[in-house]
């Protein structure tokens, strides 16, 4: 079995302590490789490589940096098939999802930020004819980038791309359960000809590996995507060290269906928004809120549509719904559904494990797409993120109660609104506490827009100009005329 290695200073290296983590294929429940169980010593090596690459890389013209990134995007697309297989095997997601979403979007991230840096503008202010103020933006040094398992290459590249486009170098840590595509990215970075040390990738557990990045004295910028619990610790720790931090955290997103919605579209997208990637997308619509007058019809149609999702071995083309990412996560999801039942929740469909019709998947982490109703909005199931294939349906009487229910959790990441009433769409979008509101659509993304959550869903924004600002230090120069 070939072991994965850390990617430091352009070389693949073993972890200093010689310790390894088993990596499981979720569809089979079997170990298929091992990855480094890195510690602070590995992070220190990665930091040193990044630090020594920084003067040269930050001194390159934007055009030169963009050139490497465009080449990398081309290589990701060239290796679409290989990366797609790796991502599907690593995560349990359907191969079609990896092929059409994760991998193309990773290439798009590098291409987008390569272009963005070429077209970014600086500002200047004419101070009443007495002075001119202009603002310089310089890279901040070595960036620490920590990402989760649900969209591994996509979310890691979403951080690496703006960091290096702006002239930073980085130490990146993918999630320990899904290390494979990050490992392969190292090969492509070398092939693209990047100077060694611009991107360093260390694998390992959150504690000690991620922790060592957050607590490193000389890594001044931390970009983290993951759970709210870990985000709170990172915010407190990095804040105490006066680091700049971006936290993209959990969600419990409302999907609001008004009676005047295009019901075909609303049902189709409620299903997609609930169960894509087995419900393991932070932007999934986990709480469906339906106007009372159409609740019966909507629920029946959603259940019917959900039962048509093609479940199965994620490596088989055409399968739409695969395995959950890990045994632990499967246990968490199943436990929350059991708890929902104890609280009086009525399971309309799903609610149990299943084995796809494929012998290799007998021990895989499969759980049916599940819809639950009859739960109080204040109960723990409605208030906490499940991050799996489980959605709840609740009803509302009018626009005001819809907004109150939508805003009644600690989270504020995303929301969906389905209505044909344009004024209402704008009104409700304004009233919802969330970083992104989709009206009559879901997951339509423009990389130029600010991305991130409000309340317990995060601090700061990624995307477009926000990311370019995050990774740079502004300096104002005031010149007296
Ligand atoms: P997690 O917080 O357990 O882990 C995320 C990453 O942080 C992993 O790489 C992990 O190893 C690392 N980590 C864990 N403890 C750490 C520590 N003490 N110090 C430094 N790093 C540490 O989250 P997860 O289970 O991998 O991902 C699921 C969560 O991510 C969900 O809550 C989901 O909503 C969220 N998520 C948010 C977004 C977003 O954009 N807002 C996107 C995807 C996922």
Residue range 381-401: mean pLDDT, rounded: 98
With a CB cutoff of 8 Å and minimum separation 6, the contacts of 120 are 62, 465, 468
Query: Which structural domains are found in the chain, ordered by start?
Result: 6-249+457-480 (3.40.605.10), 254-447 (3.40.309.10)
Are residues 355 and 361 in contact, defined by beta-carbon separation less than 8 angstroms? yes
The preferred substitution site among 105, 109, 148 for testing ligand 1, maximizing ligand atoms within 8 Å of CB, is 148
Strand, coil or helix: what is 354? coil
Provide the 10 A C-beta neighbour count for residue 292.
12
What is the 8-class DSSP label of residue 462? B
Count the helices and strands in the chain (H runs, E runs).
16, 22
Tell me the chain's radius of gyration from C-alpha atoms. 23
Residue range 380-399: mean pLDDT, rounded: 98
Provide the 10 A C-beta neighbour count for residue 213.
30
pLDDT, one tens digit per residue, over 46-96 is: 999 999 999 999 999 999 999 999 999 999 999 999 999 999 999 999 999
Are residues 336 and 381 in contact, defined by beta-carbon separation less than 8 angstroms? yes
- The per-residue pLDDT for 115 is 98
- Quote the percentage of the chain above a pLDDT of 90: 99
Q: Is 282 a catalytic residue?
A: yes
Provide the 10 A C-beta neighbour count for residue 1.
7
Task: Name the strands in the sheet holding 414-418, side by side, starting at the edge strand that comes first in the sequence.
Answer: 346-349, 370-373, 390-396, 287-291, 254-257, 414-418, 436-439
Token pair 């009018």 is found at: 398
Helix, strand, coil: what percent of the chain each, to 5? Answer: 40, 25, 35
Q: How far is CA 114 from the centre of its chain?
A: 20
Q: How far is CA 284 from CA 68, 247, 387, 392, 445, in A?
A: 34, 18, 8, 12, 14
The preferred substitution site among 202, 206, 390 for testing ligand 1, maximizing ligand atoms within 8 Å of CB, is 206
Q: Is 379 a catalytic residue?
A: no
Residue 204 predicted with pLDDT over 80: yes
Q: How far is CA 57 from the centre of its chain?
A: 27
Are residues 454 and 433 in contact, defined by beta-carbon separation less than 8 angstroms? yes
Are residues 278 and 306 in contact, defined by beta-carbon separation less than 8 angstroms? no
Spatial distance between the Cα atoms of 211 and 188, rounded to a whole number of angstroms: 27
What is the 8-class DSSP label of residue 359? G
- The per-residue pLDDT for 417 is 98
pLDDT band at 182 (very low <50, low <70, confident <90, very high): very high
In angstroms, what is the span from residue 149 Cα to ligand 1's centroid?
8
* Residue 336, both tokens: 């929350």
- The secondary structure element, H or E, covering residue 431 is helix 422-431
Spatial distance between the Cα atoms of 21 and 8, rounded to a whole number of angstroms: 18
pLDDT, one tens digit per residue, over 213-248 is: 999 999 999 999 999 999 999 999 999 999 999 999
Q: Would the pTM count as exceeding 0.95?
A: yes
* Residue 98, both tokens: 């990896």
Spatial distance between the Cα atoms of 356 and 314, rounded to a whole number of angstroms: 10
Are residues 278 and 98 in contact, defined by beta-carbon separation less than 8 angstroms? no
Spatial distance between the Cα atoms of 136 and 402, rounded to a whole number of angstroms: 45
Are residues 321 and 311 in contact, defined by beta-carbon separation less than 8 angstroms? yes
* Per annotation, catalytic residue among 248, 291, 433, 462: 248
In angstroms, what is the span from residue 148 Cα to ligand 1's centroid?
4
Which of 472, 480, 462, 446 is CA-nearest to residue 122? 472
- The secondary structure element, H or E, covering residue 405 is helix 399-406
- The per-residue pLDDT for 1 is 76
Closest residue to atom 43 of ligand 1, CA basis: 282
pLDDT, one tens digit per residue, over 103-112 is: 999 999 999 9
Pocket of ligand 1 (CB under 6 A): 146-150, 155, 173, 175-176, 205-207, 210-211, 214, 225-227, 230, 233-234, 248-251, 282, 385, 387, 413, 453, 458
In angstroms, what is the span from residue 225 Cα to ligand 1's centroid?
5
* Residue 191, both tokens: 């092939």
Spatial distance between the Cα atoms of 106 and 103, rounded to a whole number of angstroms: 5
How are beta strands 472-480 and 131-139 bridged, if at all? antiparallel
With a CB cutoff of 8 Å and minimum separation 6, the contacts of 30 are 24, 363
In angstroms, what is the span from residue 101 Cα to ligand 1's centroid?
20
What is the length of the chain? 481
- The per-residue pLDDT for 128 is 96
pLDDT, one tens digit per residue, over 277-329 is: 999 999 999 999 999 999 999 999 999 999 999 999 999 999 999 999 999 99
Closest ligand 1 atom to residue 176 Cα is: 11
- The per-residue pLDDT for 2 is 84
With a CB cutoff of 8 Å and minimum separation 6, the contacts of 194 are 10, 68, 72
CA dihedral 3, 71, 77, 52 (to 10 degrees): 30
pLDDT, one tens digit per residue, over 27-43 is: 999 999 999 999 999 99
* Per annotation, catalytic residue among 89, 209, 271, 282: 282
Mean pLDDT estimate for the chain? 97
pLDDT, one tens digit per residue, over 437-471 is: 999 999 999 999 999 999 999 999 999 999 999 99
Q: How far is CA 194 from CA 146, 221, 256, 455, 479, in A?
A: 21, 21, 46, 38, 38
In angstroms, what is the span from residue 155 Cα to ligand 1's centroid?
11
Are residues 252 and 228 in contact, defined by beta-carbon separation less than 8 angstroms? no
Backbone φ and ψ for 290, nearest 5 degrees, come out as -120, 140
């Amino acid at each position: 079995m070939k072991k994965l290695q850390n990617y430091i200073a352009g070389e693949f290296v073993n972890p200093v302590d010689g310790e390894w983590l088993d990596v499981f294929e979720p569809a089979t429940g079997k170990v298929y490789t091992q990855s480094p169980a890195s510690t602070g010593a590995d992070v220190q090596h990665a930091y040193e490589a990044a630090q020594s690459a920084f003067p040269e890389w930050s001194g390159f013209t934007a055009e030169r940096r963009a050139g490497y990134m465009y080449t990398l995007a081309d290589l990701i697309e060239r290796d679409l098939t290989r990366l797609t297989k790796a991502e599907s095997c690593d995560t349990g997601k359907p191969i079609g999802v990896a092929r059409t979403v994760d991998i193309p979007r990773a290439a798009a991230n590098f291409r987008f930020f390569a272009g963005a840096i070429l077209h970014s503008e600086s500002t200047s202010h004419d101070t009443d004819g007495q002075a001119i103020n202009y603002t310089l933006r310089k890279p901040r040094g070595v960036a620490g980038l920590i990402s989760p398992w649900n969209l591994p290459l996509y979310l890691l590249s979403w951080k690496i791309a703006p960091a290096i486009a702006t002239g930073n170098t980085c130490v990146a840590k993918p999630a320990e359960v899904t290390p494979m595509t990050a490992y392969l990215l190292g090969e492509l970075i070398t092939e693209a000809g990047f100077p060694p040390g611009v991107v360093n990738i260390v694998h390992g557990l959150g504690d000690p590996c991620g922790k060592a990045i957050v607590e490193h004295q000389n890594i001044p910028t931390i970009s983290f995507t993951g759970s709210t619990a870990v985000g709170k610790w990172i915010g407190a720790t990095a804040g105490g060290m006066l680091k700049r931090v971006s936290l993209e955290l959990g969600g419990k997103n409302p999907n609001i269906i008004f009676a005047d919605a295009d019901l075909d579209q609303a049902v189709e997208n409620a299903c997609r928004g609930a169960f894509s990637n087995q419900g393991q997308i932070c932007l999934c619509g986990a709480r469906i809120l339906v106007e009372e007058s159409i609740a019966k019809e909507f629920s029946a149609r959603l259940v019917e549509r959900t039962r048509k999702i093609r479940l199965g071995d994620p490596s088989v083309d055409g399968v739409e719904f695969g395995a959950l990412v890990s045994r632990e996560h499967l246990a968490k999801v199943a436990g929350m559904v059991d708890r929902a039942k104890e609280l009086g929740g009525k399971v309309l469909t799903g609610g149990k494990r299943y084995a796809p019709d494929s012998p290799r998947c007998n021990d895989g982490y499969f759980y049916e797409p599940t819809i639950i109703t009859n739960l109080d909005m204040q109960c723990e199931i409605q208030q906490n993120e499940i991050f799996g294939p489980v959605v709840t349906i609740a009803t509302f009487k009018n626009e005001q109660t819809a907004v109150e229910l939508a805003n009644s959790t600690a989270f504020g990441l995303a929301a969906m609104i389905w209505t044909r009433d344009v004024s209402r769409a704008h009104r409700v979008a304004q009233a919802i506490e969330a970083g992104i509101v989709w009206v009559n659509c879901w997951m339509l993304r423009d990389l130029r827009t600010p991305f991130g959550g409000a309340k317990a869903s995060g601090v700061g924004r990624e995307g477009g100009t926000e990311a370019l600002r995050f990774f740079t230090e502004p300096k104002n120069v005031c010149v007296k005329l």
